[in-house]
A and B are shown apart, each in its own frame.
Chain A
Amino acid sequence: MASSFKDALNSGKFVITSEVAPPKGTNLEKTLHHIELLKDKVDAINVTDHQSSVMRFPSIGGCLAIKEKGGEPILQMTCRDRNRLALQAELLFASTRGINNVLCLTGDAVPVGDHKEAKGVFDLDSLQLLKTIRLMESGKDLGGNDLDGAVEFCAGATVTPEAQPLEPQLIKFEKKAEAGAEFFQTQGIYDLDNFGKFMEYARKFPVKILAGIILLSSARMAKFMTANVPGIFVPQNLIDELAAVPKEEMLGKGIEIAGRMIAALKKDSVCDGVHIMAIGKEEVVPDILAAAGL
């Protein structure tokens, strides 16, 4: 049941993943269009799981749509909305549908989303979810019972290389690696020197690192993310570069910057690949890849 994504990770090639967001509602048109656009250009597509705690069509549904279109999905699973029974059940279901890549996430806090009065579950954390996957692969569930039918996943997690303070993040990164995370998709990175230092450290662990590339669509967005998104720091020179072009050319400049970063990471084999997050502008991911020479 090895996934083609796992094969790509182990092939030594520079791996490209991206992501799509399911709709708020049943109109899948846009998501399906994005899947169509990306499926042959990347090694796997993440489907976000109620990102920013906003209720949407489920990640597993998006993953099924990717499978139906012949693509390779990565199921994002947060611990925010389901207890350990529901998480395990969904893993069983995913496995029977050939969805064998899972990204284990804590999940954003409930109050940042659009159902502010809901109960945040967090029965497990991202590390415990990773461990649960490895346990289920051994044929057992968290209750200590035997599973009838095997599961096998390519399991990954996230890390924030620019977190302040950094050491607590790195301790958790090491715990995740030890728990059997095979790949990491990082929070968006912009300072390649800093990221290089992180990679020198991360190379000591038997895991694949995909650098998070978040498309900068404007100077304003870059400033906003630096001020408000934990672990994201856009260096001033990139903000200046965006601000120097007319407004209507900013997106193009952002695509150029993302492409340039990907090309640099690939050229020097800094990491094992990239995870491209276009955040609402998925239709330009092929342009980013073209700008990177891929």
Chain B
Amino acid sequence: MKSITRQKPFEEIKQQLDSFNRVFIIGCGTCTTMTKTGGIEQVVEMKSQLQKIDKLVSGWAVIPIACDEMTELAMKENERAIQNSNCILVMTCALGVHKISTYIDRPVIPALDTLFIGVEDTPGYFREVCAQCGQCIIGETAGICPITACHKGLLNGPCGGTNNGKCEVDKEKDCAWTLIYERLKAQNRLDLMRKYQPPHNFQASPRPRTVKIS
């Protein structure tokens, strides 16, 4: 499971950094290293790009797990260089950006957009399989989540836009309900597809979502 990210257009990053001359860059050794959006290589590349637009890069660090508590320690280790900057450019997912922002009183600027929580199907190919909706029905849909895998999140079967097993929004995308149908049929469980699924409960876990484990 990885937090999947994509680097923002450099123009947008440049605009965000407009009023800051000295930048400290933070990457992450976990998800953004795996997705090549915030590992050592990308952080070093960002440093050189920023220098080209006359920014002073006071330092950089790739924190092992940016969303972890240990991030505080990693930032302490780089205290001097961070103090020498007037903002932090963060090449982690938004969880890391958030965590970092709690440890420092400087502006924290994300260099990445966080897209989804995904699994790596084949090397370098990440796919969203769970929307973390709080009301799991994949026991009845052969392990494929229609809320996530169907563009419209339909619960009761395919729409009229499905065509030869593909989705109307993209001929490269599989129709989730065709996949569910094929798997349930192979398992001799098509009766599950005939079952009426009531409207989704969007308050199963009301936003902002929190859980306290006692």
Contact = CB atoms under 8 A, between A and B. Distances in A.
Interface of A: 80, 84, 106-109, 111-112, 120, 122-128, 131, 142, 158, 160, 163-165, 167-169, 171-172, 174-175, 178-179, 187, 230-231
Contacts of B153: 122
A178 B156 CA distance: 13
Given A131-B196, A165-B181, A125 B161 contact: no
Contact of A164 (B152, B155, B164, B177): B164
Contact of B161 (A127, A171, A230): A230
A277 to B, nearest CB: 13
Nearest to A178: B196
Given A109-B168, A167-B181, A175 B152 contact: no
A280 to B, nearest CB: 20
B157 A172 contact: yes
A231 B169 contact: no
B162 interface: yes
B193 interface: yes
Contacts of B164: 164
B199 A124 contact: yes
A127 B181 contact: no
B158 A172 contact: yes
B163 interface: yes
Contacts of B162: 163, 168, 230
Interface of B is mostly: loop
A163 B160 contact: yes
Nearest to B162: A230
Contacts of A175: 156-157, 194, 196
Interface in B9-51: none
A142 B196 CA distance: 15
Minimum-distance CB pairs A-B, first 8: A172-B157, A230-B163, A106-B159, A168-B181, A127-B156, A122-B152, A109-B169, A125-B154
Contacts of A179: 196
Interface of B: 151-165, 168-169, 177-178, 181, 185, 190, 193-194, 196, 198-200, 202
Given A107-B152, A109-B152, A123-B200, 14 more contacts: A106-B152, A108-B161, A108-B168, A109-B151, A111-B169, A120-B151, A122-B153, A123-B202, A125-B152, A131-B196, A165-B165, A168-B162, A175-B196, A230-B163
A249 B198 CA distance: 50
A162 B117 CA distance: 36
A160 B160 contact: yes
18 contacts: A106-B159, A109-B169, A122-B153, A125-B155, A127-B196, A128-B156, A163-B158, A163-B160, A163-B162, A169-B157, A169-B158, A171-B193, A171-B194, A179-B196, A187-B160, A230-B162, A230-B163, A231-B160
Contacts, number: 90
Contacts of A123: 199-200, 202
Contacts of B185: 167
A124 B159 CA distance: 12
Given A175-B194, A231-B163, A168 B156 contact: no
Contacts of A168: 157-158, 162, 177-178, 181, 193
A111 B170 CA distance: 10
Contacts of B154: 106, 122, 125
Nearest to B202: A123
A175 B177 CA distance: 15
Contacts of B196: 127, 131, 175, 178-179
Nearest to A173: B157
A230 B160 contact: yes
A107 B161 CA distance: 9
A91 B155 CA distance: 22
A279 B202 CA distance: 37
Nearest to A125: B154
A174 B196 CA distance: 11
B199 to A, nearest CB: 5
Given A122-B152, A171-B190, A175-B194, A109 B160 contact: no
B194 A174 contact: yes
B199 A128 contact: yes
B168 A112 contact: yes
